[in-house]
Amino acid sequence: MPSFDIVSKVDLQTLDNAINTVKKEITNRFDFKDSHVELDLNKKDFVLNLEVDSEMKLGQVMDVLISRSMRQGLDASIYDTSKEPFQSGKVVKQTIPIRNGIKQEDAKKLVKLIKDSGIKVQAAIMDDIVRVTAKKIDDLQAVIAKCREANLGIPLQYVNMKN
């Protein structure tokens, strides 16, 4: 039976390259001259720590970060910016978790979306992967199209297509 997996994985090397590109651009920009800007990626916990002088500069750094990440081929929704920045002395800090893997509640939403679509497929949650099987590949392609048009707020990849 044909099947494929729906995953949400971030390539760590591509993410690291995007952050290094942001660091280079920030050091070369005139409006950040003599400013304290620190970007630190914790590769083990998938957390990005930002430290800047002001809220305005934090917004500018985030704009550069998202645009550079998208140029590297990363989805902008990998950055979980729901946590508010906080003042720590003279600097503004923000910790941004990187979304890696599908959480259980997101996987349940995804399975519900697939089942409500009426397409004759079976969807099963396997840890942080959703496996979809069907009798025809056309049904699987319809599921991929349905998932792409539904805005779930998480970056999804469709891998391991087997016939």
- By DSSP bridging, strand 47-52 and strand 3-7 are unpaired
CA 133 to chain centre: 25
**Which pLDDT value is given to residue 150?**
87
**Which pLDDT value is given to residue 135?**
93
Q: How many residues does the chain have?
A: 163
Is the confidence at residue 163, as pLDDT, over 90? no
Please say whether the beta carbons of 100 and 137 come within 8 A.
Answer: no
CATH class of residue range 12-97: alpha beta
**Which pLDDT value is given to residue 89?**
85
Q: Where in the chain is the domain with CATH 3.30.70.990?
A: 12-97
CATH topology of domain 3-8+101-162: Alpha-Beta Plaits (3.30.70)
The CA distances from residue 6 to 71, 101, 156, in Å, are: 23, 10, 7
Please say whether the beta carbons of 143 and 121 come within 8 A.
Answer: yes
Which band of pLDDT confidence, cut at 50, 70 and 90, is reported for residue 116? very high
**Which pLDDT value is given to residue 60?**
93
pLDDT in tens, 59-96: 999 999 999 999 999 988 899 888 888 888 889 999 99
Q: Where in the chain is the domain with CATH 3.30.70.860?
A: 3-8+101-162
pLDDT in tens, 8-25: 999 999 999 999 999 999
Is the confidence at residue 111, as pLDDT, over 90? yes
Please say whether the beta carbons of 107 and 126 come within 8 A.
Answer: no
Longest pairwise C-alpha distance within the chain: 62
Q: What percent of the chain has pLDDT over 90?
A: 67
